[in-house]
Amino acid sequence: MKTPENPAPVSPPSTGSPAGPPMNSIEESVLRRIPLEIVALSAVLAMGAVFIFDPMTALLFFGGGLLATLSFLWMKSAVVKILARDKAGALRTGVAMYAVRFILILIVFLLIILAYPNRILAFAAGFSMVVPAFVIEMAVALTHLKKWKV
């Protein structure tokens, strides 16, 4: 029974986008875990690369994973800001942000190619760690399904 002395508990607000409904806790936890998974996968595989290849290759592999993590975090925060704008402004801002992000990633890849031409694949493999992180999250989500749809 609600009385003035004992008001109903208020749940804390969710951190959704200002323009849309708040995200549920599952989406929030997935978006928090993906960058951690990218860094963890990159670190584990880079440690293995030290023994198979050499320390510089492992370092470039880990650096690729870190760049992928930063890119993911930047894109996540940019999407929230873009969705807060009106439709025309969101489209212009989204295209501009994506172009800037793409150009910066290309510059980093160009610098790695110029400095370490024989190790660009290690950096690219580390940068690709975002794919296994998404596969892990997909597998976790599938295990939580109560009913399979055919």
Non-local CB neighbours of 66 within 8 Å, separated by 6+ positions:
39, 42, 126
How does 3-12 read in b/e, with b if 16+ C-beta sit within 10 Å? eeeeeeeeee
The token duo for 74 is 């930047």
Contact of 99 with 126, CB cutoff 8 Å: no
Domain-wise residue ranges, the chain: 26-143
Cα–Cα distance measured from residue 116 to residue 106, given in angstroms and rounded to the nearest whole number: 15
CA nearest neighbour of 141 among 66, 39, 43, 31: 31
- Looking at every residue in the chain, the average pLDDT score rounds to 84
As a whole number of angstroms, the longest Cα–Cα distance in the chain is 72
Each of the 150 residues of the chain gets a pLDDT tens digit; together they read 445 554 544 444 444 444 445 557 778 888 899 999 999 999 999 999 999 999 999 999 999 999 999 999 998 888 888 887 787 778 888 888 889 999 999 999 999 999 999 999 999 999 999 999 999 999 988 888 776 666
pTM of the model: 0.75
pLDDT score recorded for residue 1:
47
Cα–Cα distance measured from residue 26 to residue 31, given in angstroms and rounded to the nearest whole number: 9
